[in-house]
Amino acid sequence: MKPIILNSQLNKNNLWSGCILASVAHAIMVAHYPELSYEHSWDGDNYSVVDDSGGRGTITFKNNYFVGAFRNENFPRIDIPTAIDFFTGAPKDIIELAKNETLEYLLEEDEDGTISPFITTGIWGDNDTITSNDNIVRIVQCGGYLLEKQFMDKDAAIGAWRDYYEMTSEQVELLKSIYERKINNSHGIITLTKNEIKLIGTESSEGLSESMVSFEEIGVNWDK
């Protein structure tokens, strides 16, 4: 296999920004839809996204690189024997990152009781490009569709999340505000005011609890 550069306009920073936007929208709206709490989550540098039709994926953002691994249970792959083989031809740092972090979030137990990573496509990249051993059509089929909104430009993505969650204009403005602060202060802690928390628009204790957890995962705390 020879890795393919998918798009020189897309890179690690674009993707990270899109994942942050997705996560802020989720953190606001999970207050209204706590049953969707599983859809987006962060564990340190690892962003995971899941849907209810057999798709899941994790992207690890580390230093100058990122690794993404995905599976779509509706598109089994028999052409690539093991999960790490999806990264054949990648730099050593990418392969180590995939082994030690990304693939640890995609473990499955087989019929023999053996636990190992199970994916159907993989991507990796740096500050310049995104690369894969699959073409874009195969990536989308095999789980990459989970990143459709994360790869949109900011304005299109905001509109897509607004429509997906049926967000009010106040919630959209809150999304924009928190997103801009996070992008400009990626490693710092951001604190939402009591007024901003009110703009989330619910008093559901279950929903607000899920919202607080989701915000904390991306370094956004609530003023108590």
- The DSSP call for residue 32 is T
Which pLDDT score is estimated for 7? 64
Which pLDDT score is estimated for 1? 61
Q: Is the dihedral of CA 146, 177, 8, 101 positive or negative?
A: negative
Which pLDDT score is estimated for 15? 94
Using a 10 angstrom Cβ sphere, with 0-12 exposed, 13-18 middle and 19 or more buried, the burial of residue 190 is middle
Kindly state the tokens that stand for 62.
């580390």
Q: Write down the pTM of the prediction.
A: 0.94
Which pLDDT score is estimated for 11? 85
Contacts of 45 (CB under 8 A, 6+ apart): 60, 61, 62, 101
Q: Across the 224 residues of the chain, what is the mean pLDDT of every consecutive 10-residue run?
A: 68 94 98 96 97 96 95 92 95 96 94 91 92 94 96 96 97 98 91 95 93 96 86
Which pLDDT score is estimated for 187? 85
Helix, strand, or coil (residue 107): strand
How far apart (Å, rounded) are the C-alpha atoms in residues 111 and 94?
A: 30
Which pLDDT score is estimated for 2? 66
Contacts of 48 (CB under 8 A, 6+ apart): 40, 41, 42, 56, 57, 58, 59, 105
Cα 12 to its chain centre, rounded Å, is 12
Side chain identity at residue 44, one-letter code:
G
Ordered alpha helix ranges (H), the chain: 12-29, 92-100, 136-141, 154-165, 169-184, 194-199, 205-217
